[in-house]
Each structure stands twice: as C-alpha cells, then as structure tokens.
Structure 1
Amino acid sequence: MARVSDQRLARAVCIALTGLSAVAASAADTSAAPTEVDTVIVNATRIGTSLEEVATSGALGSKKLLDTPFSITVISDEEINRRQANSVAQIFINDPSILSASPSATTAWWGAQIRGLDVMNYYIDGVPFLLSYGGEFPLEPIESVEALKGLTGFMYGFGTPGGAISYTTKKPTEEPLAMMALEYRNDSVFSGQLDAGGRVGDSQAFGYRVNVAGEYGEAYSGADLNRTLVSLAVDYRITSDLEWFANGLYETSKLEHEPLYFYWDMYEDARLPRPTYDYENVRIDNSFYEYDTLMGSTGLRWRINDEWKANLTLGYNEKEHHSNKMFAYVLNEAGDYEGYAYNFAGLLKNYFSRVLVQGEATTGAIRHELVFGIDYQRNTTRWGNDWHWSNDFNGNIYQPQDFVVTRDIDFSLAPLSDDERQTALFASDTLHIGDHWQAMLGGRYTEYEQVDHDHDPTFDSGYDTSEFSPTVALIFKPADYVAIYGSYVEALESGSRVGTDGEPPYMNAGELLPATISKQYELGAKYEHDRLRFTAAAFHVERAAQIDVYRDGDRYLTQDGMTLYDGIEAIGNVNVTHDLTMGLGATFIDPRIDRVSEENAALEGNRPAGAPKRQFVANADYRFPRISGLSVFGTVRYLGDFYYEEANNVLIPDRTIVSTGFEYQAQWGGRRAVITGSINNLLDEKYWDRNTLGEGINGALGVRVYW
C-alpha cells in the first residue's frame, strides 16, 4: 500500500510541475499576463550560502565565512523551505562532508556525522542543547542551520570532535510579516504553520515573532507522526544602543510504530540481507517514542560604541523522553533477527550563561579583532525508575511481525543521576597585518566536573579536570574574494559512562571513562567571485579510540589507541548561465585505528566504525527564463561503503540517491505565494543505513502564502 502511495505522489509532483509550467507559460504571455504576476522577479542564485554570509561560532564571535579559518556550511530557511527538508540529512544534502544516518520519520538516535566522525554537539542561538536519543530539532522556527566542521574545543568547549550543528531561530521582523503554510507528504502526513512578526509600540521599540505548527499522519514507512510546536521571540529596544531579547519554544512529539532499529553485533554472514521496503514487516504495532522539548533564552545586546559590543545570554532547555522503541539484532543473510524492546524515561536539562565582548583595536599598523568572555554550563540527567531491555520477540525482516508490548511501563523519574558542569574563560585575537594577512590566536580554559549522584561504592562515578584548548590560524587574502588558511585546534571530550544496553551487555557498565584531548590540523581555501564559489580543505584529526574488548567471553568498553582521519573535501558551484547553476562536491577520507595496545593488536589499521572513505554530490538548479517564478532542482549523492564496527566484519554497502523538486513563486490577489514539490530517493534505491533500512521514495507538496 505504501509503495502505491509513493508512486502516486511521485506522479502528482510531476503532474503539478507540468501543470504549473503550463499555467506559468500562460502567465508569461504578455497579452494576457495580469500585473500581479509580472511583479514576480526571481534571479538565479548559487546553490548554498554566499561566503559573505556572517557565521556565529561560539567563542569565535561573528565573522564572514570567507574570513573564518575553518570549514563552515550555513543553510538558510529559504533553502530549507524550497527543498522541503525535514531532517539533518536533507538540510545538508549538498555538502558531502555532512551525513545523517537517520531517514526522515525515524528517531534520530545517534545524531549526525561530519568528516566521518559522530556529532553530538548542538546549539540553539548559541545555547548548548542536548539532542541525544531522538534528535531532530523542529525547523519551523529556524532562520538558518550552521555546521562547523571539525574540532570545536576553543569555540564551544567540551564536546565530540566531529563538529557542531548550530540553529539560529527566527527573530522579530522590521516590517509586518504573516505567512501560512500547508504541506502534504505521503502516505498521509499533513502539516501546517503560521508565522507572524513585526514591531509595535512607541518608535516600534517592541518586536515579536510567533510560530505555531503541527504535523500529523502516516509517513511513507507507515510510522505515525503527531507533533505540535509553538515558539515566540521578542525584543525590546531600551535605548538605541541597548536591547533586551527573549526566545521560547515548546514542542511535543510522538512517533508511533516506526520500523525497527537494527544492530549488527551478532551478525554471522559475509553479506548483508537484501534490503526491503516492506516496512510493515519490521514494525511493532504499539511501539512509540515520544518527547517534550522546552527551551528558552534571554539576555541583553549592548552596542558600547562603533567598535565594541557586548552580549549577555542566559539559557535553559530540557527534553523529556519516553521510549517504547524496538530494536533488532540481525543474525544472518536470510534476515532472521532477535528483537528487543527498550523502555526507559529520561529528563535531560541544560543551564547556560555567557558574557561575550567583541570589538576592534589598533596597535601601530596592526588592527585587532578581539573576542573574550566567560561561559558556565550545567547538564543534568534523571533516568526513569523502570528500565527494560529484553529479547521479547524474534522474527525475519521479510515476514510479518505480530508481537505487541503487553507489559506495564513506568515512566516515573528517579533522582538526579548525571551532573556535568563547565566553567570556561576564552579569548581570541585576529590580527590584520597589512592588506593581505590575518593571524588568529585563541584559547579556552575550562574547568570540568562530573558530580557523583549515584552513590554506588563499586566504582568512582565522578571526577574533575581542567584543560586549556588552543587555536592558532593564519589567513592569506591575495584579493578580497579569496582566502587561503591554515589552522590548528584542540578539543576536549568529556568522559563517557559505559552504557547498560547492548548484547552481550558490557561487564563494566556504569564505569566512567576519562576525558580525552583531540587534535586537528587543517589547510583550506575559499573563493567567491563573479560566477564561481569554491571551498576546499585538507585535514588531519586525531581522536582517542573507544574499543570493545572481550575477556574470557565477557565484553568491556575501553579507551585504547587513536582513531586518525586524514581527508580532503571540496565543494564548488558555478552560475553556468543567468538561469542555470551547477555544483559538485567530494570528500575523501583515510580513516584508521592506530597505536592500540597488544590486547587489541588485531584492530591496528582497521577503519573506525561509520566512516566512509568517499562521498560525492552533484546538483543543479534551473530557473525558467520565460516562466517567471518557476525553478527546478536536483541532487545526486553517493555515499561510499563503511564498516559497522571497529572489527571491520560488517560492511554497509555504498549507495547513490537521487532527489529532485520544484518551486513556483507567484502573486495571488496581491499576495506572494510559493508552491513547492519534492521527491526524495527518486529511483527508490534500496539500501541499508548504519542502523536502519533506507528511506524509500517519498515526496511532498506544499504551499506558503505571505501577506
């Protein structure tokens, strides 16, 4: 049934495109064209974001992308809406270094990946946010999404070294704004959004931005979506130089009977089973994953003078999880599996405060861009009183599964368990030496503490440490539109607590592994001039490895050796004509395990889990010159094979995915209207992701009306 609906939607998008072409062509006939349609002017734009765009990366402050000695990708809400993206994978579809192994309409269990390394560092308006265990952030209130590739120690403090993904929420508008959006996704998902903003009061001092959204129905995989969101952003101009701001968001989401989440730790055969998109065979009828998200921040922006400004930010967010999620250990090529029900509750909270000062000064012939400040962050976790992980059912991925959960689930919360605290001082100086050279020196000193709330005498669950994270960089700008840079960064990764799930379970579950230091060296170039934009980087990353060790048949998680990532990435696009833009991107990585102990000598030289050696992207965007407002676009993305685990026994095959869509902008009764359509996995490529079946062909049709 889902396959039929997918095909119907694909045909509907194609029919809509054909129909819009005919309607727009008629509108383009000057003898009959109404005045409103003639006012629609859409120019060709490059795929992605201009390097003149300003990025805000933690302690680095605000800089143009061209002037940052790191690789950063920024995607605007305009591009997100145009492509109808609803997952990290779809947001960054044209960046070959950024990957999410979670298809849409699934619980994003492990987050994203950048340059072959997992990323668990997420920020909302600069405030850290704990997206672990079910992590897509709602996009309706988002202005842009930024990915900082590589180590983030100086910019953000303790965190995983793959990079950081930062969301910027929509802010009050200077002019009145009202937008309504309606969208349909197959099989029967309907969503709506209201977005309103403006300024009121004396001298228009008070600004507001309100977003209300909902999404309900059955996705292409048969999973049921039920999501509601409300967000509010306000500001008040106390004086011409001092502004107060506040943002708040609440979302409740429940995803029911999504397909099984697969593990390969017990797999026996050389080849994986044939992937199938008969999702109804791999769903548990009464399974679900639900969460409530609450976040808020407030603060002051102070323009001290023309050269200096200061920001104070106070933030809080929490996410409460209730899991009745289903997992399966695939056993063989025939598709047999052992199924596990996973019940737990968790409440993750984050408290954050920052004072940041940014400005300029001159000493002799050198101009300094200075940034300095102080951060405080506290993360706490309460887990549920009831925890269940058990082999409750078995089956085959090609056969119907009739298991349902009958046990009573207790989602009440136990007392505080995990408690992490960071206090940090940071500063950076970008020195402008003459007209063509910039040097950047930066550092962050962090005091990190994990507080023991478990009171378990069998192991020490708390520790504290202090570390300094330096950053140095050199930028050469032979012209205003080109930058060649080199940078060195260190990052601090907090110690992780060994989990209690897995099969067989870890014998050292609950043990706290110590904090580690990662290092990154990067050489890069950025260019944007006339019709061409190009970025490239070569990098080397060193990170402490976590390895499964078997001792007398028992399984332990240990820190041993290093994982090394040497790579090159390049992304470019060109306006071939005024109406046609084409882009290419590639990432090549040589990931390997190195410097392991004699106990793990067999892993020396193996590939780290989840790291593909090659990724390629080709894309195009065409605007019809004779049909005002109509454009089509498409992307072909290749992901190379990668291993599921460090032992390199289970290889996830490569795949190539094609996606396409259209956008038509018009005037309806004097109001701007935008019609969009998209198809993901156009050729219905069947593939395995790291822990899920792939995302079968699916698409969307939507309309946004502005007044």
Structure 2
Amino acid sequence: MRVHALGLVSSLLVSVAVIAIPGVAQATDAADDEEVARKAGQSDIVVTGVQTNAGQAEVAKGGALGTRSLLDTPFSVTIVDRDDIDKRQATTIGQIFINDPSVFSFATAGTTNWWGTQIRGLGVRNYYIDDVPLLLYWGGDFPLESVERVEALKGLSGFMYGFGSPGGAISYRTKRPTAAPLLTTEIGWRSNSDVYGRLDAGGPLTQDGRLGYRLNLSGEKGTVYNGAGVERFVGSLALEYAITPDVKWYATSTYEDSTLRHEPFQIYWSAYQDTVLPKPTYDYDNLNIANSSYRARTLATATGLDWQIAPQWSARLTYGYTSKLHHSNKMFVYMLNQAGDYEGAAYNFAELDRNHFAQAMLQGEFRTGPVRHEIVAGGSFMINDSDFGLNDYYWSNDFNGNIYQRQPFRVTRDISYGTDGSPTRERQRAVFASDTLHLGEHIQAVLGARYTVYRLLDTDGNAVTNSGYRTSAVTPTFALIYKPTAYASLYASYVEGMEPGSRVGADYVNVGDVLKATVSKQYEAGVKYEHGGLSLAGAGFRIERAATIDRFTDGKRYLSQDGLTVYQGVEASAAYDVSRTLRVGLGAIHLDPRIRRVSPENADLAGNIPGQAARWQVTANADYSFAAVPGLSVHGNVRYFGKAPTDDTDRLYIPDRTLANFGLQYATVIGGQKVLFTGNVNNVFNETYWGLGNIGEARNGALAVKVAW
C-alpha cells in the first residue's frame, strides 16, 4: 500500500514512544467507582468530580464493522455523549464537536446550517439517525433533545455506510428506554429572550420489565443573540420489547417542527471586488430582513429486531423512514467590496426529501486453527426521493444595501411552497462483509468490501437529455491493527468510497447536467491510547477526491468535474486527568490540501488550496470541580481556526480567529429532589469575525435548571 502523507511515519514513531511510557497518571478508585455509578444509571445529574468518559475505549455501534471499541477500529472516530452535550448546552454540530479540531462547522448558533459542516476540511453530507440515512440538505442540524450521543467518522465512509461524500459521516444515536423509572424536567433561557422547556421520561411499562419506553418533549420560543426568532417543537418516543430473552424489538421516532425567522442573511463572496473583507459588525439589525423565515419539519423513524442467535453470534434487522420538508424565505447577499456594499436576493423554494432504508446484518466469531475471525456481513436497500419546487422557485435581486446601514426591504409578494418541478429519484442496493482476523494476541488484520449498485432515475422523460444513469462499485478496505497492550493500538488502513453523481442545480448555467459518480481514496495511519487517566488519538492521512470546479466564465456560473483535490495532514488530540478534580485536553489538525491534475482550462487553479479549507485548527479545554464545594464544576475551551480561502481561486480569505467559551454546573439537592444548574457563555471576549457564509457569533449566554423527580 502506498502511503503519501509525509506525517504518517513520524506520527507512528511518536505514538510508539508515548505508548511505551508506563503507568501514566493512574486514576483513583473513587473516580472509577463514580464512573461505574454513572454508567449504571444511578444518577444522571449529581456530579461529585470530573467525569472521565471512556475515550478510546468507547464502543461505536453501526456501520459495516458492527459493534466494537474505538481501540479496535482502524479509522478515526469521535464520540460525544449526552453529558457533554448538556454540560455545554450545545445546539449545533460546531458546539457538539468544539473540542475536536478535525470536526468544524461554519454555521453559527441561531442560523440555518447551509452546508456548513466539515471534517478534515471536506464538507459533510452524510448523516445517520440510528443507522438510517437522513438528508439534512439545506438545513443540516438534527434536534438534540432526543439524542443520547453523536459520532463523527472522519474520512471516507464508503465501506462503513455506502455511497456518500468523502468528508465523513455524522451519526446520531437517540435515547433508549431505561431499566429504572426516569423523569426529569428542565427550563432554560438563551440570550436575548429565548426560553425553552423539556421533559424526559422513561422506564418499564410492564411489571415484568419486558416493555420499556423513553419519551422526550421540548418546546422553544423567543429571540436569540443575533435577532433571529426561534420557534421549535420536538417530540420523540422510543420503545423496546423483549419478545424472548434473545430477541428484542425496538422502535424510535423523532419529529421536529422548527421555524427560524429574520436570521442574518447568508453571504456569497463570488462577486467580491477587493482582497480584504469588510470589518465585521455585530449590529445584527443591519443584517436581518424582518419577515424572512426558514421552516423545516423533520421526521426520523426506525424499527427493527436484535437477535442473539448464539453466544458469539447476533443479527439485526433495521427498517427506517426519514423525511424533511423545507420552506425557504431566506435572504442571500453577494458581498461586493470592503466598504460593505452588497446585492441581495430573496430565495423562495420548497423541497421534500424522503428516504426508505432497510438493512440486515449478521455479526459473529469463529476460529480456524489459531486465528480468531470476527465476521460482519449484511445487505441494504435504500429509496431516496427528493422533490424540489422548481415551479414555485424564486431568486431575484430584490434589494441592495450596506452591512453598516439598516435594510428596509420586506417581502410583500405571495409565496407558494409547492414541491413540483424538479424531482430526483435515487436507488441503492448493497452487500457488505468484513473479516477481522486476530493473528495472535496483538495483531488484527481487517479485510472488507462493500458492493453497491446505484441508480439515478430519469425523471424528465426526455430521451435526448437523459438525466438518469446506473453505476456500481466495489469499495474495499484493508487495515492492520497492532495492540501492544489491551489499552493501546497502532493502525494503518486503506479505504475507498464512491460519491454518487448529481444533477447540476438551477443556480448554474449548465443546469440539468449530470455529474457522474466518482471514486475517492483514503490512506491513514494512527494511534489510540486509553489508560491511567490519559486518552490519546492521532492520525496521519491522505484523501484523494475528484474535484468539482465552480467557475465564472463571461459572467456566467458553471459547475463541472475536473482534476483531483488532495487533503493530507496530521491530527492529534489528548485528554489527561491531572487530578481527581482537573481534566485538561489539547488537539490540533494541520492540513496540506491542494488541487491537482486539472485540465488546461482550469490550469490557474493547479496547486491552490481548495475553498473553505483551513491549514490549522487548534483546541484546548479544561474541566475543574471544586473539592470545597461539592457539586460545583467549571469548564472552558479555546479554539483557533486558521484562515481559509472562500473558493478555489485563493484570491480571498476568511481571516483566522480564536474564540473562547466558559461554563459551569452546580448539582445539589433541594426539597429532596436532585437539581442541576447549568450556565454557559459563548465567545467570552466577544471576538468579531467572519464565517464563510455568515457573520460570526457574538457573545451570548444560556442558563438552565434541571430537576430529577
């Protein structure tokens, strides 16, 4: 296997040196007991010390490798659990993964996540809820009230999940029924005047405990820090029933109705005439159109059977249906110059995305002589239908202005939210299998492949300009894992992924052209360590992806496939229990992304940094609990984001910035009830900055009180 990234070998050598250090930072028995109690569900509120999560020993569920610990997974994966989400009162992908330098989102809180999420500098389009794909196009955040944990798979997801963009995958795991009765209520506030309430209930529904439930209800309404009006309702229900001791049925469902009004407008830089951005401003009243709105109604359901066939063999059947309906009255502007002038457009459309997904998976073990095999095999089928309302689509230069002046424009015409005019019909069938060979006590070899048949149906009925096609691909993976001890692993892996083709959208001159499916490749080598209070993960990687070029020619915008984009770099993160009360963490990613092998027509892009990719991101965080005040803890983090080009021409850059966040929790007992107070301040020093498509996030805060009944 070729390994191109120069940092791979050096990363492994450093990793070996780290692993060789014996007995680093031994954890106390008290901390271990506390963690066991938390995992057992004895208390999900009262915290008496710094929580030590499982780190690289955490078990990941899903994908073609089945269920296994991160130490035995030859890819880079980050898991963020419910405790961490609640502690930082996270509402967005960017806030969930604030301490992982490789996972990032340009989208600020209180805005629509318009293609903003990245992993290793590449955009993320692959989202899964309880293993079921969900199209989060246009608005890319899933409601977190029903979520137990969120996993980020970095890099190519072709083997693990099938067709998808090479940026990686975000996988949500919803809350499941609890063995003991559970009832918590929470009320909260976010600046400026946004209030919310939540209820979380669960437990057995029958005396024998075979049927359990988990119910979550949440409502939110008010105005947040940037002047946007938020109105949301979220409801979720999970059921589990033990048909027999070996066969269990489950079902989950989450529904969200969310409307975001008069959020700051989305910004495009393609018409910008200068080379330095305007001075950013947090006078949000200048950036909002009073009666603009974006509404999304999201439904995610899944059901299935888990069957423990034999002590070492299990099977899972899954069926899921997801849908998302978008109604857009969202405002966009083309920024023109450093003085802050812009041309604005109202964007009205409706889209309904629907997805049916079925999968059967078998996982088990057997031996051939001295070799132990872990087998995962299965098949899946997916129907994806998207209906974009091209007949009622509207995009027009309705207003112009300056970001330092009030914008009086209001939408006064009637808006129709029909979804007819531009349907997309996709079908996927896949089979996959992997074999993890345990070659003795310390070495594992992973061999796997997924075969996928993909169809984009012809929906325009025009034999001359056929919009459909069919393709198939085998996406393999090969990996070696060396475990010198049970709590450390070194790995090297190779994986391929296929990105499905698509039709060029209506905002391009070559609308209707079909971009064919492309194959991406990833080489990765890394280290994982989890022991004695030290959690460590590092990787060197190289990702090769077919380039999609967005160009303006003679004032007209075209989208085409040309050349190759290469993202190579090194990432590392570590967390350490300095004492029973203090835990610190550090992380960094360094990217060397380039555009290569372009045609003579695009020769001026050769060697450029791909748009939106920053070469550096660095994070630092700490959690501290006060021994003198039981139940009181504070936490904080700092994140640096390096400058990034707005597009592939590298003519204009989003400047770098460093942001700091701070929060606290206080757990106590009032009137015999466990009560948890939580507060957070984001962008503590009110740093002003530009995002890619939006102004930054001004200082804002949140407070909440949660009661366990």
TM-score range, shorter chain: over 0.9
1:278 — aligned with what? 283
Q: Name the CA distance, whole Å, in 1 between partners of 2:634 and 2:361.
A: 43
SS in 2 for 1:81: helix
Q: Which residue, out of 406, 411, 420, partners 1:400?
A: 406
User: Is 1:118 equivalent to 2:107 in the alignment?
Assistant: no
Offset at residue 295 of structure 1 (A) = 1.9
The 3 A distance-change label for structure 1 pair 276 and 162 is same
Offset at residue 245 of structure 1 (A) = 1.0
SS in 1 for 2:604: helix
TM-superposition CA deviations, 1:155-208 (whole Å, max 9, x none): 111101010000000001000000101110000000111000001224211110
User: Is 1:67 equivalent to 2:69 in the alignment?
Assistant: no
The 3 A distance-change label for structure 1 pair 44 and 553 is closer
1:685 — aligned with what? 687
Offset at residue 297 of structure 1 (A) = 1.1
TM-superposition CA deviations, 1:79-118 (whole Å, max 9, x none): 1001100100000000000001100010011041000000
TM-superposition CA deviations, 1:540-576 (whole Å, max 9, x none): 0000001134455543211000000110000001111
TM-superposition CA deviations, 1:317-344 (whole Å, max 9, x none): 1110100000000000000000000000
Residue type of the partner of 2:523? Y
The 3 A distance-change label for structure 1 pair 642 and 40 is closer
2:31 — aligned with what? none
The 3 A distance-change label for structure 1 pair 55 and 344 is same
Q: Name the CA distance, whole Å, in 1 between partners of 2:120 and 2:396.
A: 34
1:326 — aligned with what? 331
Contact 1:111 1:120 in 2 (8 A): no
1:237 — aligned with what? 242
TM-superposition CA deviations, 1:635-681 (whole Å, max 9, x none): 01000000011011111000000000001111122222111000000
User: Is 1:381 equivalent to 2:383 in the alignment?
Assistant: no
The 3 A distance-change label for structure 1 pair 508 and 416 is closer
1:459 — aligned with what? 465
* Matching of residues 133-144 of structure 1 within 5 Å: 133-144=138-149
TM-superposition CA deviations, 1:447-497 (whole Å, max 9, x none): 000001122455221000010000010000001111000000101101122
User: Is 1:538 equivalent to 2:540 in the alignment?
Assistant: yes
TM-superposition CA deviations, 1:254-288 (whole Å, max 9, x none): 00000010000000001000000000001001100
User: Is 1:108 equivalent to 2:113 in the alignment?
Assistant: yes
Could you tell which deviates more after superposition, 104-113 or 683-692?
104-113
2:40 — aligned with what? none
Q: Name the CA distance, whole Å, in 1 between partners of 2:557 and 2:421.
A: 29
Q: Name the CA distance, whole Å, in 1 between partners of 2:553 and 2:331.
A: 29
Residue type of the partner of 2:122? L
* Matching of residues 459-498 of structure 1 within 5 Å: 459-498=465-504
Residue type of the partner of 2:328? S
TM-superposition CA deviations, 1:53-82 (whole Å, max 9, x none): 110241111110111001100000111001
The 3 A distance-change label for structure 1 pair 219 and 366 is same
Q: Name the CA distance, whole Å, in 1 between partners of 2:126 and 2:317.
A: 21
TM-superposition CA deviations, 1:590-641 (whole Å, max 9, x none): 0000000111111000000110000000111111011101100110100000
Q: Which residue, out of 512, 528, 531, partners 2:530?
A: 528
Q: Name the CA distance, whole Å, in 1 between partners of 2:401 and 2:462.
A: 38
Contact 2:56 2:536 in 1 (8 A): no
Q: Name the CA distance, whole Å, in 2 between partners of 1:280 and 1:391.
A: 20
* Matching of residues 120-519 of structure 1 within 5 Å: 120-384=125-389, 385-414=391-420, 417-456=423-462, 459-501=465-507, 506-519=508-521
Q: Name the CA distance, whole Å, in 1 between partners of 2:553 and 2:151.
A: 43
* Matching of residues 655-670 of structure 1 within 5 Å: 655-670=657-672
Q: Name the CA distance, whole Å, in 2 between partners of 1:214 and 1:159.
A: 33
2:22 — aligned with what? none
Residue type of the partner of 2:304? G
Could you tell which deviates more after superposition, 451-460 or 336-345?
451-460
The 3 A distance-change label for structure 1 pair 40 and 83 is closer
Contact 2:571 2:589 in 1 (8 A): yes
Residue type of the partner of 1:113? Q
Q: Which residue, out of 589, 592, 595, partners 2:591?
A: 589
1:652 — aligned with what? 654
Q: Name the CA distance, whole Å, in 1 between partners of 2:587 and 2:202.
A: 37
SS in 1 for 2:56: coil
Q: Name the CA distance, whole Å, in 2 between partners of 1:696 and 1:202.
A: 51
Offset at residue 236 of structure 1 (A) = 1.0
Please report the TM-score for the alignment, with normalisation by the length of structure 1.
0.93
2:104 — aligned with what? 99
The 3 A distance-change label for structure 1 pair 156 and 415 is same
Offset at residue 512 of structure 1 (A) = 1.1
Q: Which residue, out of 81, 87, 93, partners 1:82?
A: 87
Q: Name the CA distance, whole Å, in 2 between partners of 1:603 and 1:472.
A: 33
SS in 1 for 2:515: coil
The 3 A distance-change label for structure 1 pair 176 and 107 is same
Q: Name the CA distance, whole Å, in 1 between partners of 2:109 and 2:435.
A: 41
Offset at residue 299 of structure 1 (A) = 1.1
Equivalent residue pairs, number: 665
Contact 1:324 1:343 in 2 (8 A): yes
- CA RMSD, Structure 1 to Structure 2 (Å): 1.3
The 3 A distance-change label for structure 1 pair 250 and 473 is same
Q: Name the CA distance, whole Å, in 2 between partners of 1:293 and 1:393.
A: 31
Contact 2:46 2:676 in 1 (8 A): no
Which runs of 5 or more residues in structure 1 are unaligned? 1-36
Residue type of the partner of 1:701? L
Contact 1:40 1:628 in 2 (8 A): no
SS in 2 for 1:584: strand
Q: Which residue, out of 562, 565, 578, partners 1:560?
A: 562
Residue type of the partner of 2:359? R
Residue type of the partner of 1:650? L
2:33 — aligned with what? none
Contact 1:245 1:298 in 2 (8 A): yes
SS in 2 for 1:238: strand
TM-superposition CA deviations, 1:96-151 (whole Å, max 9, x none): 00001100010011041000000010000000000011121000110000000010
2:9 — aligned with what? none
Offset at residue 382 of structure 1 (A) = 1.1
SS in 2 for 1:280: helix
Q: Name the CA distance, whole Å, in 2 between partners of 1:449 and 1:429.
A: 28
1:34 — aligned with what? none
Q: Name the CA distance, whole Å, in 2 between partners of 1:217 and 1:132.
A: 25
Residue type of the partner of 2:63? G
Q: Name the CA distance, whole Å, in 1 between partners of 2:631 and 2:277.
A: 46
Percent identity reads 53
Contact 2:152 2:170 in 1 (8 A): yes
Offset at residue 45 of structure 1 (A) = 2.7
Q: Name the CA distance, whole Å, in 1 between partners of 2:542 and 2:558.
A: 29
Which runs of 5 or more residues in structure 2 are unaligned? 1-42
Q: Name the CA distance, whole Å, in 2 between partners of 1:304 and 1:59.
A: 19
Q: Name the CA distance, whole Å, in 1 between partners of 2:543 and 2:300.
A: 33
Could you tell which deviates more after superposition, 131-140 or 547-556?
547-556
